[in-house]
Amino acid sequence: MTTPTTSPTGHGQGADQHRVVVIGSGFGGLFGTKALRRSPVDITMVAKTTHHLFQPLLYQVATGILSEGEIAPPTREILSGQKNAQVLLGEVTGIDLEAQTVTSHVLGRETVTAYDSLIVAAGAGQSYFGNDQFAEFAPGMKSIDDALELRGRIFGAFELAELGAKRGENVDHLLTFVVVGAGPTGVEMAGQIAELAHRTLRRDFRSINTRSARVVLVDAAPQVLPPFGAKLGAKTKKELEKLGVEVVLGAMVTDVDERGLVMKFKDGRTERIESVTKIWAAGVQASPLGKMLSEQSGAPLDRAGRIGVNPDLTLPGHPEVFVVGDMIALDNLPGVAQVAIQGAKYAAKEIDNRLKGKPAQGPFKYFDKGSMATISRFRAVAMIGKIRITGFTAWLMWLAVHLVYITGFKNRVTAVLHWLVSFLGRGRSERTATEQQIFGRSALARLERGAVDLVSAPGEYDAKSEERRAELEAIAAEETRLTDSGQRGVKVADRV
């Protein structure tokens, strides 16, 4: 069943208003949409989730510091006051550059949305470097689902270890946590698991000593945090080791299974670590939409699936299509939020200039505002231009910057309260985990069409609705009769 869209102002698709479609609700999609709020356009954002994700804080959801709602507010709520924008739920499965349409699907429902200008900000996913089978046992950190699954796996490992230890079993594999990838996400995750084990949970169990938990950070690179330079990388490694994190560098992960993983070193030797809980924070792969655009436009793709664009962020041969953020290969730009934000604002301004007859902007220029990573509470590293900052000062800077970029006053307030509890105290208020969180992804993956197999096809339910209506009416009539006749609570024998 295919549904054509109408504009947010109520016009049909034949209206004169310029139609802008934005793909993605991340930093690029949201900031691009908001930048067009005063422009004479009708905007349709198409996204596969209903929320705007503040991805840099996913690890805090996974380790019980923040709730998912604090870093992923509803996109509709954020844009509710922007009258020229509407939001459609759906995963984009097709872009037709010739017809200028975007096709999206959700649970078997297809929607086709026409555009005059297109901003593609679909971001990037986790890369397992050709070993996608690793994902079953080592989830990535790119979505709320990932973070909640990891929360369940991390806290669940301690629970299973407690049960095993009570029975006298060896639980070392349950108390060993391996983080693959020593970039910012991996460093932050390893640091927080160490704090969780050594500080937060130390009084909560009776049969295990959580402070004996082993946290291992693995990377094939020769240093921690390569983009931060050698000095900050060495400082970060030293601080992690102070926390009790084992840092294993120059080790490539070659196999992952339910109970552990295998590492291979440059000298050819291999080593296996027995661990039930593995977190994959190594490598990213651009959205498959990049390949789709490449096949139609002839634009080149790099090894990570990023597409080559013109200096003004447009797709070669298609000036009406802008690609921003993690999807682009241009001037060695890093895959960080600021690239997406600045690129989306640039694209929005270019669209606005064209509609108002103003001259085009110059080539897109990225302004590097710096990079930051936390190691643990009160410890962080920051790189701003040529300035390198470490320790408590860097941590305060990290706190302030992330607070600014959390969307919504309400979320900022609750985030601060949770940070106070977690960083000044030792508590973590978001420790709830369920089996569904842990195993839901794997269960859906075993269905041929995923979640689509669990719902009725469009129109299928309607065919049975009349039969169901009669059934419900009969039930309601019987409930009414029992009440009106005073027969509720009366024994059957007494009714005679």
- The residues annotated as belonging to the active site are 188
- Using alpha carbons only, give the angle 157, 163, 167 rounded to the nearest 5 degrees: 135
The residue assigned the tokens 């509710």 is 80
CA 202 → CA 159, 172, 207, 388, 485, distances in Å? 13, 16, 11, 34, 62
User: 17 — phi, psi (to 5°)?
Assistant: -60, 135
* DSSP secondary structure string for all residues of 246-283: EEEESEEEEEEETTEEEEEETTS-EEEEE-SEEEE---
Q: What is the C-alpha separation between 259 and 337, in angstroms, rounded?
A: 35
The Cα 25–Cα 49 span in angstroms is: 8
Write the DSSP assignment of 309-337 as a string of letters.
Answer: --TTSEETTEEEEEE-GGGEESTT--SSH
Task: Give the CA distances from residue 220 to residues 118, 179, 404, in Å, rounded to whole numbers and listed in that order.
Answer: 38, 12, 34
Q: How far, in Å, CA of 383 to CA of 401, rounded?
A: 13
The residues, any chain, with a CB within 8 Å of residue 275's CB and separated by 6 or more, are 173, 176, 177, 178, 216, 259, 260, 261
Residue from 24, 5, 4, 34 nearest 290 by CA: 24
Upper half-sphere CA count for residue 466 (Cβ side, 13 Å): 2
Segments in 406-459 forming alpha helices (H): 409-419, 435-445
User: What phi and psi values does residue 472 have, to the nearest 5 degrees?
Assistant: -65, -40
Q: By the 8 A CB rule, do 138 and 181 touch?
A: no
Query: Euclidean distance between the first and final Cα of the chain, in Å?
Result: 55
Closest CA to 61 of 180, 146, 181: 146
The stretches of 372-452 forming alpha helices (DSSP H) are: 391-405, 409-419, 435-445
Neighbours of 269 (CB within 10 A): 9
In the three-class reduction of DSSP (H, G, I as helix; E, B as strand; rest coil), residue 44 is classed as strand
Any bridge partners for residue 180, and if so which? 218, 280
